Amino acid sequence: MATTTDAATNALGYEQARDELIEVVRRLEAGGTTLEESLALWERGEELSRVCRRWLEGARARLDAALASEESEEAAEAAAEAAGGGSEGSEEQA
């Protein structure tokens, strides 16, 4: 069951989640926190890491789709040129 905190975390943008994750790591590396605080920070870091990963996976999918679309358009143009390109050259020479 998703909690309000989970929903708020999932609503974060990539940059917000990344910046908060950097702060969590900084605090953990600095030390001086209790075991309970360290565990809470680690759990928050895991949540933020998942948010960042989802954003990056979504960005990768969008890039892959855009590249595939571009390649398919280029292939269609090349096929159209090959099919009709020979007659255009003949007409221009006539």
- pTM exceeding the 0.85 threshold for the entire prediction: no
Tokens representing residue 58 in the block: 């979504």
Using N-to-C axis directions, what is the helix angle for 35-93 and 14-30, rounded to 10°? 140
The one-letter code for the residue type at 73 is E
User: Which residues contact residue 32 at a Cβ distance below 8 angstroms, ignoring those fewer than 6 apart?
Assistant: none
- Name all domains of the chain by residue range, CATH numbers in brackets: 4-83 (1.10.287)
Q: How far apart are CA 37 and CA 44, in angstroms?
A: 10
The answer to whether the CB of 91 falls within 8 A of the CB of 57 is no
Dihedral sign, Cα of residue 54, residue 57, residue 59, residue 61: negative
Interval 11-40: pLDDT, tens = 999 999 999 999 999 999 999 999 999 999
Confidence of residue 85 (pLDDT cuts 50, 70, 90): low
The answer to whether residue 93 scores a pLDDT higher than 70 is no
CA dihedral 22→24→26→30, nearest 10 degrees, is -170
Confidence of residue 74 (pLDDT cuts 50, 70, 90): confident
The one-letter code for the residue type at 75 is A
